[in-house]
Structure 1
Amino acid sequence: MRTDKKKNNSLILIISLLLILGPTLYFGIVGKAAEMGVALAAGTLSAAFLHLDKLQKFKGAGIEIELKEAVKEAQATLETLKDYTDPVYISSIKIMSEGLTWEGISEDTQHDIVRKIEKIVNNNGASEDVSEAIKEFYNFNLTQLFDRLIPIVDGYFKPEATKNLLLLRDRENFIFPSEKQVRQALEALPHLTPDLEESIKDYGYYKENLYPRNHS
């Protein structure tokens, strides 16, 4: 009996992994980023519900004891699944932030995927590595937007303005200035070109919302 139960648990674990990794990896390979995020969430939930049949088998006076045992088994399986889903989360985020592949995916779609992952993480918990990967994703994009300002300001040939701008940025601790601080640092400039104005707005919007600014 104990052997059969062990085999059954192993089968459930295998099915759970297939539900999560199968569709997720497929959509990742074919380049369908949004579908990949949805498949990952749906697969995780489906795997969790595989344990609900245990709750239907126990009736009578001992239901409370059996229920607790079933919940413990379900929690143990979910903890095991985290070991497999965490690398998928991390690799997906790093791919988008470090530009390894997924070339051609719009910034909006990338951020939509990360937000979905972030929501799952906040609701269900995840390793510190996943949370750190999410932070790195936002820091990567903030750095890109801030660095975009520097060559534009250099074009004014006002060293003081460039120096004031660079002093606002703490690269080691990933501290970013507000849009107001950026504008104050550039007060030495005679005027702001449309290109610089739009770049400042892009940076300021992302700093506040952690999402790309809509130019339409």
Structure 2
Amino acid sequence: MQAKEIKYQLKSLIEQASSIEPNLARRLDEINRWVKDIKPGSLTAKPLVLAFLLEVITDSTIWLLIKSLPTEEEQEAKFEQMTPNERYWYSYLFPRWINATDSKFYIWKQKLMAGEFNQIDHDIIKSIAQDIVSREGSFWQRYIADLSMATDLIVSSRNQQPLCIQVTSVCEEFNQQKYQAWQNTLRLWEIERGLFLSYNPGNANFLNQLVNVALYNSDYLSGGKYLKFA
């Protein structure tokens, strides 16, 4: 989708949402005001901003399709057709983001636009996701989950219970501080359980260990638990 078409889609979704989901309309209008004065060529030169906009357009389109269904039974049936991670995102986390105050949104919008969003652990997270799929698990990834909800991946395994995970290589000196901030963020968004994975890239087997821990805890970590694994 080209930058010009993305802008058009945003405006179209705002109009649709205004009568179906006013809070989504307000959220999309905020995003539209953020990008409306940027020329298409300049917007195309910002791939992370474009990727975020495409995700928001996709999620908003799906959400409005569900909300426009005439009965709760039909809406629930649509959720049941999704994978566990998709269902968790569209039935719980995305609606929470639409309706709640997101104190981080203003900050990370600026960073995305300025090209200051540093995906330090991008390759590791990608490798974890690929390994999870190779072991018949599944994952879900969204900029909103990452930047607002301290969640790099939502994963599920045999028991199909989505688990929010953050991955970091922060040294031990700052590890506890980041863990506490992560835990506070999950509680703020009422995410019931989470896994904080801290790794040492010098350990040759660290990737296998991270995936083992992620898949096991997606099945067995209790609600109300925010586990730290180093």
Which TM-score applies when normalising by structure 1?
0.20
Higher strand share: 2
Which TM-score applies when normalising by structure 2?
0.19
Look at both structures and tell me which one has the larger radius of gyration over its CA atoms.
1
Higher helix share: 1
